[in-house]
Structure 1
């Protein structure tokens, strides 16, 4: 390391001497003076990626934005998060002893041929491994479907009185609402209030298969596209889960997001990052989780 620093200073002094003796030469770039002591085996200091200070740092003190990100398998990223979790400071360790793992997907919503964008979407993804308590789901049904809904774990069965309580904000102890097709006419007064969470067959919250519908909304995770910078940010597990379990949850969520991709659009996902509460984010290779209809052309 000492020899490397000496070599860097030698090159730096030589460049300063040249610019002072030959006035027709370009002045020394200030970025070169501030360059960290990395990738200095080359005498001209030009063997570096464009826009960065080097391919990788030589020690553990460096600016992350000055080096290209390392895109690895998700298992390696999760191992790094667990290693950082052992020493990272947290004000209330008793509350955040088991940190939540978050998945962030940067999306490309443009449709090149039609010169327009994919409409921002929301949805529900079924995950194979639970990591939180079940959601509270209200079911609007009638007849035999009422018994089936209660046996499948519905929080309560809705009626006309409950609709009025929801409209007046007198009842808010619920997460989602599902309904049978025959009950949709009575739910129309809630459409303006619930907006995008209003029951819809497109999102799987209206149907006759109560078991399948309630299994999705009781144990699934909701995702939504943020319109400022098109991306999806959603929790996919806890650090206490194994790498395989988190990976399977990530796979299920990416498959659900890719179902919103129109045929004319290009690759929907541009970048995938996994992180945890107050810990660093790590990019990982997501291509293997993308369904065949959404894969980039190789």
Structure 2
């Protein structure tokens, strides 16, 4: 209508009256036709909508318009929640509640905390490269047919020290890893069992003197105690940072001299009785015969603490019968004989922590290089102590006595049986 008004206004401005009437009549006819077409199209759309109402409720047309039955609320839902429980349902609920309460009372509060901590812990024995399990390799072939093979497809291959060192040197050449003077790491998997089933080998840490020292790039500060002045001078010449006499004992107790800056403490035998008041202050650093910090030869004692290798035995918190010992035994540029001697000294000191008559202490020994993941299993049988027949017999007798219970003791003692029968 706005278009017609605008056209009429423009036509009125014209001078020719006849021409005006002709244009107006044509515009009126055109407007009637447009109105007729719009009414027809509206009727067609309405008829289409009314005819489709019957079929829109079908599931195939649910995407076009929600059906009436999908919007209908089913009665009785809230009523079913308020209904009384049957005897069987009450019994099932009671049994579930009792089972949950029994599971809660199975462990104490501290035990539950410990269990939750253990779940988040990782076994040190299972860390790379893992622990050897011979049962998993029982079905595998013994030896590969070629020198190139997949390690997981065969049983663990054991090499001599020279063979393992040669393979490591080939991998550390300049064209590959380029670390020809890398530190050599010896990783030993341990069996921590003892004669008693409930007792395991205790965790420990010690310094082991080796026949062929090497640069371990570790600074170790040593504090020495000696009564005579010439012994104190010998300690400083051997490598101790400072040597103290008996007059400094009281100052250490009063806190006038700080000893926390020293990693190790050694003492001459003439100071053995004078340093006893320092036992509670020095604790694990207190020099004695066991840790090798007490003796007459300062050159030998300090050399051990300066150049010795750290030997730490750690038990597995998740599997107590397993253990691990990780240490550094030398560098790749050292001779094979020197490294063999160092390995022998470390294994000899390690095997003193467990009776060799109980069986092999070392489950598997791996020769590795720092840094790197390459590892080769070593044949350590030549380095292990061989128990005598007498030692094996003693262990067997002890084990048999422990296995015997009260019933077996009565059977072995016929007098006790006869007295009990008379009673």
Q: Do the aligned partners of 2:357 and 2:387 also contact (CA within 8 Å) in 1?
A: no
Match of 1:187 among 267, 278, 282: 278
C-alpha deviations, 1:130-168, integer Å up to 9, x for none? 21168432212221431332233322214456774546x
Map of 2:395 onto structure 1? none
Residue 291 of structure 2 corresponds to residue 206 of structure 1: no
Paired residues, number? 237
Write out aligned runs for 1:69-218 (5 A).
69-86=156-173, 96-112=179-195, 115-132=198-215, 135-143=220-228, 144-158=230-244, 159-160=248-249, 164=255, 166=258, 169=260, 172=261, 174-180=262-268, 181-191=272-282, 195-218=283-306
Q: Do the aligned partners of 2:233 and 2:243 also contact (CA within 8 Å) in 1?
A: no
Q: Higher relative contact order by CA 8 Å / sep ≥ 6: 1 or 2?
A: 1
Map of 2:78 onto structure 1? none
Write out aligned runs for 1:48-87 (5 A).
50-52=138-140, 55-56=143-144, 60=148, 62=150, 64-86=151-173
Residue 375 of structure 2 corresponds to residue 281 of structure 1: yes
C-alpha deviations, 1:52-99, integer Å up to 9, x for none? 47843758473x333212102111000000011126865xx6xx5521
- What is the distance in 2 between the residues matched to 1:264 and 1:55? 30
Equivalent residue of 2:305, what SS?
A: helix
- What is the distance in 1 between the residues matched to 2:302 and 2:190? 29
Q: Do the aligned partners of 1:88 and 1:279 also contact (CA within 8 Å) in 2?
A: no
Q: How far does residue 113 in structure 1 lie from its aligned partner after superposition?
A: 5.4
Q: How far does residue 294 in structure 1 lie from its aligned partner after superposition?
A: 8.8
Structure 2: segments with no counterpart, 5+ residues? 1-136, 317-321, 393-423
- What is the distance in 1 between the residues matched to 2:237 and 2:266? 15
Q: How far does residue 188 in structure 1 lie from its aligned partner after superposition?
A: 2.6
- What is the distance in 2 between the residues matched to 1:112 and 1:87? 50
- What is the distance in 2 between the residues matched to 1:59 and 1:289? 27
Which range moved further: 234-243 or 285-294?
285-294
- What is the distance in 2 between the residues matched to 1:294 and 1:148? 43
C-alpha deviations, 1:219-265, integer Å up to 9, x for none? 21121102224121100000111111111110111111122224764
Q: Do the aligned partners of 1:57 and 1:67 also contact (CA within 8 Å) in 2?
A: no
- What is the distance in 2 between the residues matched to 1:206 and 1:286? 32
- What is the distance in 1 between the residues matched to 2:197 and 2:288? 27
Map of 1:225 onto structure 2? 313
Equivalent residue of 1:235, what SS?
A: strand
Shift in alpha-carbon separation, 1:145–1:292, aligned structure 2, 3 A = farther
Which range moved further: 245-254 or 279-288?
279-288
Shift in alpha-carbon separation, 1:150–1:248, aligned structure 2, 3 A = same
Structure ID, larger Rg: 2
